[in-house]
Amino acid sequence: MMFRRVRRAVTLALVLGLCILRYWLRRIHGPLTLEQRAVWLQDAARMILRALGIGFHVEGQLPACGLVVANHLSYLDVIIISAAMPCFFVAKMEIVSWPYFGKAARTGGTIFVDRSSLASAMSVAEQISERLSLPVPVLLFPEGTSTDGAEVLRFHSRLIDPATTAGAPITAAALRYMIEGGIEERELCWYGDEPFATHLWKVLGVTGFSAELCFGEPRIYPHRRVAADRTHAEITAWREANALATENVMAAQ
């Protein structure tokens, strides 16, 4: 396992450097548009997942625009969802200070919000409204934090408001982790006070780690609270159904 971790860590470092190089090569002819930056992030995410040994499977139709709301298990969600489709994330302000990843997120068009500031939330809502007119969806984690996957926390609705006000489609996206060998999902979730480096070191040593990402049908909702509650119910139902199916398969083996 130690050899695997070291090998993946070296590969990851090389891939991160290559991602930077590919970004600057794309900028030879001038600054990239927001859409082009989202596509760059998608390419980078796919390379990073390969370096980490993480696979992913997508169910449903990839949304081409509007707002996408998803449950949140760890920072890996951003890489997995980015690998599936170009999108603009709404993320907590603390990520800006993360080595490499903060800069990469900003480069990819991420919108940063200070959740303790009403002024920041209002500014971010305006930015979301502007992005909703682009042919790239905005991705929001309405739980406001990552969890151990035991339950999907109640969705905050404030940043869903720009989509309901504009009559933009809102798509629910349910995410879950699967690990071979009977390892529980929560072991690869990043939550609580676990240091980032400790969690990444754990991920580097895991084999048979994959993710499932399921997109529902895009819908237009009359009010942000209605949108929050219905997408929450849709995501919860999908996760519970798939968790039960997995348990039945394991019990039959």
Amino acid, res. 14 = L
Segments forming the whole domain that contains residue 196:
2-252
Q: What is the pLDDT of residue 251?
A: 52
**pLDDT tens per residue across span 31-83:** 999 999 999 999 999 999 999 999 999 999 999 999 999 999 999 999 999 99
Alpha helices in 85-222 (DSSP H): 101-107, 118-131, 161-166, 196-204
Q: Using CA atoms in the order 60, 181, 189, 125, what is the torsion angle rounded to 10 degrees?
A: -10
Per the listing, tokens 């849709």 go with: 234
| CATH code of residue 242 | 3.40.1130
State how many domains the chain has: 1
Residue 6: predicted pLDDT? 95
**Rounded mean pLDDT of 201-218?**
95
pLDDT attached to residue 249: 45
pLDDT in the model for residue 250 = 47
Q: Is the pLDDT of residue 134 over 80?
A: yes
pLDDT of amino acid 106 = 93
For residue 231, give Cα distances in angstroms to 45, 53, 111, 186, 222.
26, 30, 21, 22, 13
Dist CA 37 CA 217 (whole Å): 26
Residue 81 has what pLDDT? Answer: 97
Q: What is the pLDDT of residue 191?
A: 94
- pLDDT above 60: residue 252: no
